[in-house]
Structure 1
Amino acid sequence: MKLRRTLLSLMAAAALGTLALTASAETYKAEYKLSMVLNTSTPWGQAGKIWADLVKERTQGRINIKLYPGVSLIQGDQTREFSALRQGVIDMAVGSTINWSPQVKELNLFSLPFLMPDYAALDALTQGDVGKKIFATLDKAGVVPLAWGENGYREVTNSKRPIKSPEDLKGMKIRVVGSPIYSDMFSAMGANPTQMSWADAQPALSSGAVDGQENPLYLFQVLKMHTVGQKFITTWGYVADPLIFVVNKEIWGSWTPADQAIVRQAATDAGKQEIALARKGLVEADKPLLKDIAAVGNVTITQLSAAEREAFVKATRPVYNKWKNTVGADLVNTAERAIAARHK
């Protein structure tokens, strides 16, 4: 009798487990919408593709993800992406810390001018206590953060002259992204910053209405910026733009714990692959990406000396100090300590 009761109990437990899986499976959508700014010809776009492919394979098709580049789910308005994600208009995203910083002020950390002098500094933040604190903040803000990716260090280009000092920027019209800290930084260096979308920036650069812009170097090639008058590049590494893999909280809660674990690990794996793609050609000793860019369209590349870079650091320090309180002094102090202790 005891054996019979044990067998019946095991059968009942198995049946309940099957019912639970079935009930959970019924809550799964046929397709999940993943938002990104850039398409799959870029490392950013590849981040979404790799993630989607890994999830489909590892869940055996239970979770199917469709990519929506160009933030097309919100008519191309990058600044609305985080809000749309929280509201459920978007299910998943690989998003930019810059684009989400108006809604999550702590993300402005990565836009503090000249905070991160190298990739080791960036890694010290995203992979350490700072990254954990930011993920906790995002969780409280209404999304589930899973892993880090990277859009890269942002470098400045223009059609006028080499930029070696803040004086070279004086009066120059520079297209910047929509976050206010960028206007503050370029104003501090004497430039005339203009916020506009990239769709508007391209004709403005072509016509000369705008002199320059700032973006990761891989985009110089992808967008063929030498064809819109960008003949001078300065590599100054003034800010970097980490990417974050996130899921809407309601969507996350609809998946089984096993599938949640699969999606999280897939995001981590995709992030590592994407970071390698974003840094390709820039971490090697001879920086082949710079050679490739210089060879196309007779582009002049200026790499700042330590003394030249320090002049920009000094010019933007008031902006750093102003925004330190906006970001949160404790978080910035933690970041500064992590960078000082990094292994170069």
Structure 2
Amino acid sequence: MKKRQFSALLAGLCASFALGLPLPAAAAPYKDEYKLSTVLGEAFPWGWGAKRWADLVAEKTQGRIKIKVYPGTSLVSGDQTKEFTALRQGIIDIAVGSTINWSPQVKELNLFALPFLMPDHKAIDALTHGRVGKKMFELLAERDVVPLAWGENGFREVSNSKKPIRTPDDLKGLKMRVVGSPLFLATFSALGANPTQMSWADAQPAMATGAVDGQENPLGVFSAAKLHTVGQKHLTLWGYVADPLIFVVNKNVWNSWTPEDQKAVAEAAQQAAREEIARARAGISAGDDALLKEIAANGVTVTTLTEAEREGFRKATAGVYKEWAGKVGAELVKQAEEDIAKR
């Protein structure tokens, strides 16, 4: 097959030369394997979405583009905050990444982690599918990557091993694992907790030994990681921030593909993202609470805040919101607030 393809290419080049036609630009050779980085494995909606994208790409390109998923951010030794830099440098070819993990390099992505900005899924959609999402993609495109689709890790709920959390006072003194973002440190410090940054790989052993009391993550992560087995017996639904995911390709890798394959990869990303979002939201709504029931059945006390109780946390973090809104960009935050209000 390769011999026939080479012969055909050679014949075409000779014909072009003989007719005086311009020679086609040399296409960059495709890699035998493209490396896709993600934080979580296939048991989680996030990792499932990455694998789904890889499978769809293989199908839509008839195997011309083969993608291997590397979960656990193993391509950067598990350091989630280095993933975007490695993606820009070409150490990583493709990624399904978190807006939180990439926010140290792209400050505007901190928008999604402003405490209590987004009250529901319609608010997330208003941002990612509206003016804000478009602006974010433009900003990312200036940083050596090609963003293709929005996915979702979900609203981050808070759990701990000590007691139910209903008020900011309940968080005081608790040792809480948070992601490597200054905004998360500021938010939990404002609530009186003792936040500790650590990778997800280190978080579960820390909970098991009692080195930390609690954590915050989407319900899909709580369930798939079986956090009830590492002492997380108290779970509060407060929806203080959500974590959109972004399906991206390194710009040099993208430019090495034919327009036909670029289109196929983009369509695969958009399909995988839609399916991943549906998976991330399954079982956690009033009409479909199967996942919540499953978590409670494992001996976890699930606390749902009233709007008045949620307002108490919002007031306690209002100073953090104001400070970080300035860092994110006043105009972008204003757009977000307007679009959420219109939802």
User: Structure 2 length normalisation: TM-score?
Assistant: 0.92
Name the stretch that deviates more: 259-268 or 281-290: 281-290
Q: Which is further off, 223-232 or 195-204?
A: 195-204
CA shift in 2, pair 1:160/1:330, >3 Å: same
* Whole-Å separation in 2 of the counterparts to 1:97 and 1:110: 7
Matches within 5 A, 1:4-15: none
- 1:41 positional shift: 1.0
The C-alpha deviation readout for 1:151-203, integer Å capped at 9, x for no partner, is 11100000111100101111111111110100100111111111112232222
Name 2:41's counterpart in structure 1. Answer: 39
In the other structure, the counterpart of 1:316 is: 317
Indicate conservation of the 8 Å contact 2:100/2:110, yes or no. Answer: yes
Letter in 1 for 2:89: Q
Tell me how far 1:286 sits from its aligned partner: 4.7
- Structure 2: runs of 5 or more not aligned: 1-14
User: What is the aligned partner in structure 1 of residue 281 from structure 2?
Assistant: 279
Aligned pairs for 1:62-141 (under 5 A) are 62-141=64-143
- Aligned partner letter, 2:243: D
Aligned to 1:61: 63
Alpha-carbon distance between aligned partners in 2 of 1:317 and 1:117, rounded to the nearest angstrom: 15
Q: Paired residue for 2:213?
A: 211
Give the match's secondary structure for 1:237: coil
Residue ranges of structure 1 left out of the alignment (5+ in a row): 1-10
Q: Give the conservation status (yes or no) of the 8 Å contact 2:233–2:300.
A: yes
- Kindly provide the amino acid, as one letter, of the partner of residue 319 in structure 1: V
Distance 2:93 2:124 in 1: 28
Q: Say whether 1:302 aligns with 2:321.
A: no
Secondary structure of 2:317 counterpart: helix
Find the aligned partners of 2:60 and 2:24 in 1 and give their Cα distance: 20
- CA distance in structure 1 between the partners assigned to 2:56 and 2:249 by the alignment: 15
> 3-state DSSP class of the match of 2:240?
strand
Residue identity matched to 1:86: R
CA contact (8 A) 2:60 2:264 kept: yes
Cα offset for 1:30? 1.3
Paired residue type of 1:334? Q
Q: Distance in 1 between matches of 2:162 and 2:50?
A: 36
Partner of 1:337: 338
Structure 1, residues 290-341: CA drift from partner, whole Å, max 9, x if none?
A: 1110001x11000000100000000000000000011111110000000000
Aligned residue in 2 for 1:6: none
Q: Which moved more, 1:277-286 or 1:59-68?
A: 277-286
CA distance in 1, matches of 2:190, 2:248: 34
Per-residue CA deviations over 1:196-230 (Å, capped at 9, x if unaligned) read: 12232222212222111101111112111111111
With over 3 angstroms needed to count, the CA separation of the structure-2 counterparts of 1:164 and 1:16, relative to structure 1, is: farther
Equivalent-residue separation in structure 2 for 1:141 and 1:317 (angstroms)? 31
Q: Give the letter aligned to residue 97 of structure 2.
A: G
Distance of 2:165 and 2:59 partners within structure 1: 48
Return the match for 2:185 from 183, 186, 201.
183
Q: In 1, Cα distance between the equivalents of 2:189 and 2:33?
A: 45
Runs of 4+ in 1 over 3 A off after TM superposition: none
2:7 corresponding residue in structure 1: none
Give the paired residue count: 327
Residue 259 (structure 1) aligns with? 261
- Pair 1:61–1:336, CA change in 2 (3 A): same
In the alignment, residue 54 of structure 2 is paired with which amino acid?
A: A
Percentage identity across paired residues of the two chains: 65
2:329 corresponds to which residue?
Answer: 328
One-letter amino acid matched to 2:301: T
Q: Which amino acid aligns with 1:139?
A: A
* Aligned mates of 1:127, 1:16 — CA distance in 2: 49
Q: What does residue 28 of structure 1 align with?
A: 30
Q: 2:52 aligns with which of 33, 37, 50?
A: 50
Q: TM-score, normalised by structure 1?
A: 0.92
Question: 2-side partners of 1:177 and 1:36: how far apart?
Answer: 15
Superposed CA deviations along residues 118-173 of structure 1, whole A, max 9, x for unmatched, are: 00000000001100000000011221101000111100000111100101111111
